[in-house]
Structure 1
């Protein structure tokens, strides 16, 4: 993958797979310079730092390192996420807390670390929540807590940074990615489940980043037209 050296740098967390990889690919084709924080290597030629986002201090350090390496940071897209479904009483505490840390606390940590560059460039933030950030379901207390948190965090951040950094909350439904692969059968989508293509969600991310100065796309819901978790 070849990046345009004149385009703004965009940090994509979780950019090695799933939605994150789709965002990275589309950004590179659209003249941006994507970079990645992930535990796995992204597409060839994409600058990245290996990092477990459950270590939020390491995530902050990786963000600063990439910004310095690339001479700034024009935008952040927090596409990293995880879930392990199960009843609260059955899910080990360390697993429950890891879900909330990766999905919510790392989102805040990375954006906080990038703010000096984003405010200096009039940059943008796109956070990735979930339809389960606006609709609660059983056996998803950690994921719902985290994604409801991303919704509230992003709305507050948009108010806080209005006029200096563009902030968009993106709420996707289920997608055709490996997100569900490691789940037991009862928590996997059925063969006939309505799922969206990650490339379609990536296009919404690009749309948010391409808005002109003074125009804010605050929130978007992107899902298959028969998504069962929305509205």
Structure 2
């Protein structure tokens, strides 16, 4: 994929795989210019900064570098996310805290750093929560805490930035990505699990990003039509 030289500049965290990669592909296909924050390189030709989002100060600095490289930002999509399920007493503290840091605190850090650029462009933010940000389940205390936090943060941010920056909360169900690959077998979706295509969710992201001035898409739930974790 070759990066575009014109069109809206959209920063995507976690843009090298899964939903993030699908968003990057959608932005490029629509004539936009994707930029990626991730630990791994994205598709060829996509500008990026290597960044472990667990280091939120580094995430802020990398966001600013990409924004300057792009000449500003028109959109931010916080697609990066991690999860290591398990009972609270069994998950090491550093693993539990990393999940919350990457999924919640890094979301805030990237948006904070991008905000001056988005305010200048009257751009848009799409945060990626989860159906487990509105429905709690066992063995997911870190992930639920983080994603419930993303829901609350985004709703408050939308109120704060109304009229200056578009803010959309996207709540996806399970998707066919590598997100589940490193889990213990008991925490992986079964062969008959109903999972959504990340490209379908990415289409909803682009819909939210490219709303006309004065129109806001506040919240979207996008999932397979037989999703069991919502409502």
Q: What TM-score does the superposition give when structure 1 sets the normalisation length? A: 0.99
C-alpha offsets along residues 124-156 of structure 1, whole Å, 9 cap, x if unaligned? Answer: 000000000000000000000000000000000
What is residue 187 of structure 2 aligned with on the other side? 187
C-alpha offsets along residues 62-120 of structure 1, whole Å, 9 cap, x if unaligned? Answer: 00000111110111000000000000000000000000000000000000000000001
Q: Measure the CA separation in 2 of the matches of 1:6 and 1:19.
A: 23
- Provide the aligned C-alpha RMSD in A: 0.5
- SS of residue paired to 1:220: strand
8 Å contact kept, 1:10–1:74: yes
What is residue 143 of structure 1 aligned with on the other side? 143
What is residue 172 of structure 1 aligned with on the other side? 172
Residue ranges of structure 1 left out of the alignment (5+ in a row): none
What is residue 99 of structure 2 aligned with on the other side? 99
- Offset at residue 47 of structure 1 (A): 0.3
What is residue 86 of structure 1 aligned with on the other side? 86
8 Å contact kept, 2:14–2:80: yes
Q: What TM-score does the superposition give when structure 2 sets the normalisation length? A: 0.99
What is residue 4 of structure 2 aligned with on the other side? 4
- SS of residue paired to 1:44: coil
- Offset at residue 185 of structure 1 (A): 0.9
Residues 1:120 and 2:123 are matched in the alignment: no
What is residue 43 of structure 2 aligned with on the other side? 43
8 Å contact kept, 2:26–2:202: yes
What is residue 13 of structure 2 aligned with on the other side? 13
Q: For residues 201-212 of structure 1, what are the structure 2 equivalents within 5 Å?
A: 201-212=201-212
Query: After TM superposition, which residue ranges in structure 1, 4 or more long, deviate above 6 angstroms?
Result: none
- Offset at residue 37 of structure 1 (A): 0.3
Residue ranges of structure 2 left out of the alignment (5+ in a row): none
- SS of residue paired to 1:137: coil
Q: Give the number of equivalent residue pairs.
A: 231
- Offset at residue 2 of structure 1 (A): 2.1
What is residue 213 of structure 2 aligned with on the other side? 213
- Offset at residue 3 of structure 1 (A): 2.8
Q: Measure the CA separation in 1 of the matches of 2:76 and 2:136.
A: 27
Q: Measure the CA separation in 1 of the matches of 2:12 and 2:179.
A: 17
Q: For residues 21-36 of structure 1, what are the structure 2 equivalents within 5 Å?
A: 21-36=21-36
